[in-house]
Amino acid sequence: MKAHKNKFFNIASAQRERTSAMSAGLVGSRAKKLVRKKQEVEIKVLEVSKSVFLKKMREIGAKKEYSVLVKVKYFDFEDRRIHGKRDLLRVREFTFLPGRKQKTEVVYKAYKCVKGGCKFFDEFEFVAEGDESFKNICAFFGQLGFVETVYYEKKRTLFKYKDWKFEFDEHPRIPSFFEIEAKNAKKVMEAVRLLKLEKFEKTPESIGQLLKRKYPEISLNGLVWYHSTVRQAHGKRSSG
């Protein structure tokens, strides 16, 4: 029995090594972190102009981290079981301007609940660098049998202050908004008061859910900035 058990673990270990080697080859870059787990608590503040957002960041002394173009793809099984659980499997490419350094982030977000007006996820992620990472990782998921369900783009500006993250997002054809991310719902609402956002509409909805409710004529899939340089994905609109 002991020899059989050891043989099983040796086979499992070899499979993990082969999978890691395959992943590294397909990514074609340095993986900065293999897997990182964190809890994400966030809320969206809707229809805030960039000038108002930047003014509020200056008032509290928040530090700008970056401005990027983000390309986003969602993946799911053929039966859409990930979407059915309100989870999300996402690959994102960040292009940092003007130097055009790129990184790719792979995230699985496991939905927990909506509580206190905020959305809770357990988030598992790893990050890779390199110009080909986004394309190769997406191809890797395709070879595993996953289906690309959504492709879209956005411009994001990130600020940090103390334990908060403030992410200002610009999408084509809809008003801009920003997300407040903190370690718990109490801290999120503390930021709302700090920034005097009580009169703004706030929601825990995903971008897909937000479009469906407020802008039903606009599909998230294919919502891009540079139509001449990107391919619009095929697939059903997801609630993201």
Residue 25 CA to residue 22 CA, distance in Å, equals 5
Q: Please, are residues 166 and 179 in contact by the beta-carbon 8 Å criterion?
A: yes
Architecture per CATH, domain 30-214, reads as Beta Barrel (2.40)
A 10 A CB-CB count for 191 gives 21
Q: Which token pair is 87?
A: 């989870």
Main-chain phi, psi angles of 9, to 5 degrees: -70, -35
Give Cβ neighbours of residue 223 (< 8 Å, ≥ 6 apart).
152, 153, 171, 172, 173
Residue 91's SS3 state is strand
Which pTM was predicted?
0.79
Give Cβ neighbours of residue 190 (< 8 Å, ≥ 6 apart).
182
Are β-strands 177-182 and 164-170 bridged in parallel, bridged antiparallel, or unpaired?
antiparallel
Q: Which token pair is 67?
A: 């401005």
Nearest to 176 by CA among 200, 192, 199: 200
Predicted pLDDT of residue 99 = 62
Per-residue pLDDT in tens (0 to 9) along the chain, 240 residues: 544 444 433 433 444 444 444 444 444 445 555 567 788 899 999 999 999 999 999 999 999 999 999 999 999 999 999 999 999 999 999 998 766 678 999 999 999 999 989 999 999 999 998 889 999 999 999 999 999 999 999 999 999 999 999 999 999 999 999 999 999 999 999 999 999 999 999 999 999 999 999 999 999 999 998 643 444 333 344 444
